[in-house]
Amino acid sequence: MRIARYTTGDDPAYGVVGGPDGDEIIATMVGDPLYVGVELTGEQVSLADARLLAPVIPRSKVVCIGRNYAAHVEELGHDIPEEPLVFLKPNTSVVGPHDPIVYPDQSNNVHFEGELAVVIGRICRDVPVERWKDVVLGYTVANDVTARDLQEKDGQWARAKGFDSFCPLGPWIETELDPADLTVTTELNGDVKQLGKTSLMLYDIATVIGYITSFMTLLPGDVILTGTPAGVGPMHPGDDVSVTVEGIGTLTSKVVSRD
């Protein structure tokens, strides 16, 4: 099932996306599926008549895993982490499909990082690795936008990773998917820049959920970014960046200057 959050001009609503490619319809839900489950109103809208929004606004946080693909660790000249490397992006960094990524004045080196994102479905702490699927609502696509110069300069990554618009999510949440071996592709202006497989993660999703919840509670609607494959690189105002995860869809953003 594909769960989308969308607007047709009124308040945001949730719905289930179905139908043939290019002619999809959205079956409207009664409310937020994280609160009330999936219940349909009986109304439908054409996907073409709707504007998709970020499929979830994280209830408390976006938890990110850094350096989770060996080839990406190598391209940045770092060592393989001995444990999952965890950092946070604020929920105010989240934007939806086709929302602009705003290039900040403070950086001269803003990079794309295409990633598989995990959407948490229930409150959880100390999740045993064999029960990780119990806490997952589904999966979406993310761009872990990063001001690479500020990341190196600041030490702490709050600014480099946390600007408004630095966490595009979408196009929807796919709830029925095996995330073990999916292709992750990032294109910049139509050129393929990243092409990885989730099977190459150093720490898999079960391990990551167990590790994160060993020290912090995850809430329904929190999002985990699972790390980026090799091939990261700079974006500039005017660029179009698209991240595709096999089995989910494509998340497209345009980079714009601040003014």
Contact window for Mg ion (CB under 5 A) among 109-117, 147-155, 167-175, 204-212: 109-117
Report, in Å, the least distance between residue 24 CB and Mg ion: 29
Residue 113 touching Mg ion (CB under 5 A): yes
Report, in Å, the least distance between residue 155 CB and Mg ion: 17
Tokens of 110: 């803003």
Q: How far apart are CA 19 and CA 30, in angstroms?
A: 20
Residue 222 touching Mg ion (CB under 5 A): no
Report, in Å, the least distance between residue 84 CB and Mg ion: 12
> Is 12 or 90 the residue whose CB approaches Mg ion more closely?
90
Report, in Å, the least distance between residue 129 CB and Mg ion: 22
Q: How far apart are CA 34 and CA 51, in angstroms?
A: 21
Q: How far apart are CA 142 and CA 112, in angstroms?
A: 10
Contact window for Mg ion (CB under 5 A) among 1-9, 69-77, 190-198, 222-230: 222-230
Quick check: 237 and 257 in contact, CB under 8 A? yes
Residue 187 touching Mg ion (CB under 5 A): no
Q: How far apart are CA 175 and CA 232, in angstroms?
A: 28
Please give the residues from 154 up to 183 whose contact with Mg ion meets the rule CB under 5 A. none
Q: Which residue is nearest to Mg ion (CB)?
A: 144
Residue 228 touching Mg ion (CB under 5 A): yes
Report, in Å, the least distance between residue 114 CB and Mg ion: 9
Report, in Å, the least distance between residue 151 CB and Mg ion: 10
Number of residues that bind Mg ion (CB under 5 A): 3
Contact window for Mg ion (CB under 5 A) among 77-85, 106-114, 134-142, 191-199: 106-114
Contact window for Mg ion (CB under 5 A) among 142-150, 180-188, 195-203, 241-249: 142-150
Residue 141 touching Mg ion (CB under 5 A): no
Residue 110 touching Mg ion (CB under 5 A): no
Terminal-to-terminal C-alpha distance of the chain: 39
Contact pick of 2, 116, 139, 144 for Mg ion (by CB under 5 A): 144
Task: Give the number of other CB atoms < 10 A from CB of residue 131.
Answer: 12
> Is 33 or 179 the residue whose CB approaches Mg ion more closely?
179
Q: Catalog residues that contact Mg ion under the rule CB under 5 A.
A: 113, 144, 228
